[in-house]
Amino acid sequence: MRPLRGCRGRGVVVGTVTLCLAAGWALQTPGGVSLVVPQPNINATVAQNILLSVEYSCRGVATIEWKHVSSWGTTKIVEWKSGNYVNVSTVYKDRVTTFENGSIQLLNVGMRDAGYYFITVTEEHGTNTYGTIIVNVYEIIYEDLHFVAVLFAFLAAVSAILICFMWLCNKSLHLFQKKTAHKLTGISLRMQSRYRVFKPEF
């Protein structure tokens, strides 16, 4: 019975060592990819530049692909392999910048850029992972305020011109009345003088 117990003890030790070696070998074997999306929801305004920030890690070489899905359809934005090629869609030419950590920056966004952005990170041994970022794009509010400000300035200028015109009219009318009164006074004095000259004596 004692030898059997010794064999069992040795078997447990051998099994534990084997498991440790297998775990170490698995950790050293290439494979596995992780992805972190720190900001899954982004609010932006028209003409703004936005950063779709992610952070991936893998043991091998990864291929990153971004797609945009909205009510207008699905569009492939960019695909690149770490340290190799970068393939940018024609629609996003000169509007997208790629980064080594998998992030991309979109320049001058419009209303059509709203929607879901999907990133796929594929490791060279076939392992992949996915991430999603929702982008909401709003119209610029201060454009309406700018229009109101311009309209207010225009109305203020028109009002100022009308006030000046009314002041000039009033001034001209006042001068005209003054001249008319002066003429009437002169005529009245002349008539009085004539009346005195031709006044009959009784």
130 has pLDDT over 60: yes
pLDDT for position 193 = 67
- Name the pLDDT band for 195 (thresholds 50, 70, 90): low
Q: Quick: pLDDT tens for 147-190.
A: 777 888 888 899 889 898 888 888 888 888 877 777 777 676 66
Higher-confidence residue of 14 and 121: namely 121
pTM of the model: 0.58
Higher-confidence residue of 9 and 181: namely 181
Q: Quick: pLDDT tens for 76-129.
A: 999 999 878 899 999 999 999 999 999 999 999 999 999 999 999 999 888 999
pLDDT for position 192 = 67
Q: Quick: pLDDT tens for 28-62.
A: 334 589 999 999 999 999 999 999 999 999 888 99
* Nearest by Cα to 52 from 87, 77, 86: 77
- Strands (E) across the chain are located at 33-36, 41-45, 50-52, 55-58, 62-70, 73-81, 86-88, 96-98, 104-106, 115-123, 128-138
pLDDT for position 110 = 95
151 neighbors 58 (Cβ within 8 angstroms): no
Q: How far is CA 37 from CA 2, 30, 70, 118, 131, in A?
A: 58, 23, 20, 11, 7
Q: Which residues of 156-194 are buried (b: 16+ CB within 10 A; e: fewer)?
A: eeeeeeeeeeeeeeeeeeeeeeeeeeeeeeeeeeeeeee
